[in-house]
Amino acid sequence: MEDRPAPSPGPGQILVAPRLVGICGSDLHYYQDGRIGDWRILRPHVLGHEFTGVVAEVGPQVDSAAVGDRIAVEPIIPCGGCGACRRGLYNVCPYIRFTGSPHTDGALQELVAVPARGAHHLPAGMPSTLGALVEPTSIAVHAVRRSGLRPGETVMIIGAGPIGLLILAAARAYGAGAVYSTDLDQSRLDIAAELGAAGTVDAGGLEAAEILERTEPSGVDVAFEAVGSPATLETALRVVRPGGRVAAVGVNIEGRIPFDLMLAQSKEATVLPVYLGRDAFPEAIELLSSGRIAGHLLVTHRFPLEKAAEAMETASVGGGAVKVMIETSPPSGAGI
Domain that holds residue 315: 13-132+294-327
- C-alpha to C-alpha distance for 201 and 266, rounded to whole angstroms: 26
In a domain, residue 281? The reply is no
Lowest mean pLDDT among 42-56, 132-146, 306-320: 306-320
CA 81, 83, 88, 92 dihedral sign is: negative
The CATH number assigned to the domain holding 117 equals: 3.90.180.10
Can you give the CATH number for the domain in which 173 is found?
3.40.50.720
Percent of the chain exceeding pLDDT 70 equals: 98
Residues 125 and 149 in one domain: no
* pLDDT score, position 330: 64
pLDDT digits (tens, 9 = 90+) for 75-102: 999 999 999 999 999 999 999 999 999 9
Q: Are residues 164 and 86 in the same domain?
A: no
> What's the average model confidence in pLDDT over 244-253?
93
Is 197 in the same domain as 214?
yes
Pair (198, 263) in one structural domain: yes
Task: Look at residue 336 in the predicted model and tell me its pLDDT.
Answer: 47
Label residue 320 by pLDDT band (50, 70, 90).
confident
194 and 312 part of one domain: no
Cα–Cα dist 319/328, whole Å: 24
Does 162 share its domain with 79? no
- Those residues with Cβ within 8 angstroms of residue 241's Cβ, 6 or more apart along the chain or in another chain: 218, 219, 220, 221, 267
Q: Is residue 280 part of a domain?
A: no
Higher-pLDDT residue of 35 and 37 is: 35
pLDDT at 317 (0 to 100): 85
Q: Quick one: 19 and 126 in the same domain?
A: yes
Query: Which residues have a Cβ under 8 Å from the Cβ of 196 and sit 6 or more positions away?
Result: 168, 169, 172, 179
Of the pLDDT bands very low, low, confident and very high (cuts 50, 70, 90), residue 106 is very high
* 73 and 148, same domain (yes or no): no
Beta bridge mates, 247 = 224, 272
pLDDT the model gives residue 107: 97
Does 107 lie in the same domain as 197? no
Residue 286 lies in a domain: no
pLDDT tens track for 278-303: 999 999 999 999 999 999 999 999 99
Q: How far is CA 317 from CA 28, 164, 273, 312, 321, in A?
A: 10, 18, 27, 9, 8
pLDDT of 318 strictly over 90: no
Neighbouring C-beta atoms of residue 152, cutoff 10 Å = 10
Query: What does pTM read for this prediction?
Result: 0.96
